Structures are given as C-alpha cells and as structure tokens.
Amino acid sequence: MSVSKVAVPAASKVAAAAGRRRRPAEMRAQALQAGRALLIAHGPDGVTLKAVGAALGVTHANVLHHFGSARGFQAALMNAMVTDLTDHVTEILARPEIDLATIVEETFAAYDQGGIGKLMAWVHLTGDGTVNEQLAAAIGRLVSVVRRQSGDTVDAGAQVGVLSMLAFACSVMGPELGRLVDIDQSGFRAMTVRIMALLARGDETRAG
C-alpha cells in the first residue's frame, strides 16, 4: 500500500538564503522549516533558537525577534505542523470509496512523519495552553469529516478519538510498547481497524 507523506523541507534549502536579508514573513517561514529539519534530525530537544539561528546563518536573537520567545517559536512550529497533519488526514478521509484500513494506515503514517507526535507530546507536557486549543480544533475538523461521510448512525467522535489516540501513542512510543506486549506496528494498526469497526457496528445496532 502506498502511504502519502507530509512534505518536510530539507535543511539545506533553508540555509541557502543565509547570506541575504530576509523579509519578516520569509524569515518566519524559513525558521519554521529549519525547526522541522532539526526535529527530524535531533528530536524535540534539538529544536532550540540557537540551533535554528545557526541553520539560517543568523543569531538566536534574530530568531527571537520574529517569534517573541522560545515558547512563541515552539507554538508557531506546532501550529504549522498540526495544520499540515490535519490537512493531510482530512484529505485522506475525503477520498471517495476509501476503506477503513487505508484511513488507519495513512493516519498512523501522518502522525509519525517528521516526529510530529513526539513534538506534540513534548510541547503539551511543558504546559502550553495554545497548543491544546490547536489540537482541539484539529480533532474537531476530523470529527466533522467522519460525521459527514458516515452519517448520524456512527459516533464520529469515538472513532476519531480512538484513531487519534492510538496513532499518537504509536508515534511517541510504538516500538518500545510493541516490544513489551509483543505487537509490531502493523499489529497496532490492525487492532485500531478492528476497534473502529466495532464502534461503527455497535452504533448501527443501536440505531436499528
């Protein structure tokens, strides 16, 4: 099965413009691109203003000027990545005649791509309420899409909740948890498909 990927710009492309003056919007966009590249290469701990500045050929104070604080940069990066993730999953769910297994496979891949799951956990645990609002809006969009496709007989919130929770958990610690319970990543995906199918059948039974 072919799995779509959320595009992540390469760090070399970000650094290419290091020697010239940038407009504020361009600087913000390139800083976020650099942040994504650092996240992939080094994990959440590697996403610092100093590292972002080095990737862009500027000082960390220059990056700070455009985002206000390290927290402001983290929130902006989180917002950009959550938006990409939500757009990707929404596009998946909107495809005609898509089957449940493909929805699960693509959603798991979207959460895992580029380390966004770990970034979500890291930023959430550091106590940024803005991120919580962004995630709530993203999940709300997914619920709306599932409800439009499935109709009122299916508990869209429950299905999206299960899908998002398990995809997120596997993106953060799937391999480690898999070794503990002797389930590989394809097994977690298959389990999610079964749970979502049971939820749909249960709601149809109650509706009848």
Residues 6+ apart with CB under 8 A from 112: 167, 170, 171, 174
How many domains does the structure of the chain reveal?
Answer: 2
Closest-CA residue to 28 (of 71, 57, 5, 62)? 62
Q: Which of 68, 83, 114 is the last residue of a domain?
A: 68
Q: Which two tokens stand for residue 130?
A: 């803005």
Q: Which pTM value belongs to this model?
A: 0.66
Cβ proximity of 167 and 108 under 8 Å: yes
Q: For every one of its 208 residues, what pLDDT tens digit does the chain have, with 9 covering 90 and above?
A: 333 444 444 544 444 444 456 788 888 999 999 998 888 788 778 888 999 999 999 988 889 888 888 888 888 888 888 777 777 777 776 777 777 888 888 888 878 776 777 777 777 776 655 556 666 776 777 677 667 666 655 677 788 888 888 988 898 888 888 889 898 888 999 999 999 888 877 654 444 4
Q: Are residues 87 and 126 in the same domain?
A: yes
Our CA dihedral for 37, 74, 127, 161, rounded to 10 degrees, sits at: -60
Question: For the chain, how many residues are written?
Answer: 208
How far is the C-alpha of 75 from the C-alpha of 112, rounded, in Å? 19
Determine the structural domain holding residue 112 and report its residue range. 70-207
Q: Which of 68, 93, 112 is the last residue of a domain?
A: 68
Quick one: CA dihedral 142, 146, 151, 156, positive or negative? negative
Q: Are residues 43 and 136 in the same domain?
A: no
Ramachandran sector of residue 145 (left: φ over 0; alpha: ψ -120 to 50; beta: rest) = alpha
Q: Are residues 169 and 137 in the same domain?
A: yes
Q: Are residues 194 and 160 in the same domain?
A: yes
3 assigned to some structural domain: no
Q: Are residues 40 and 95 in the same domain?
A: no
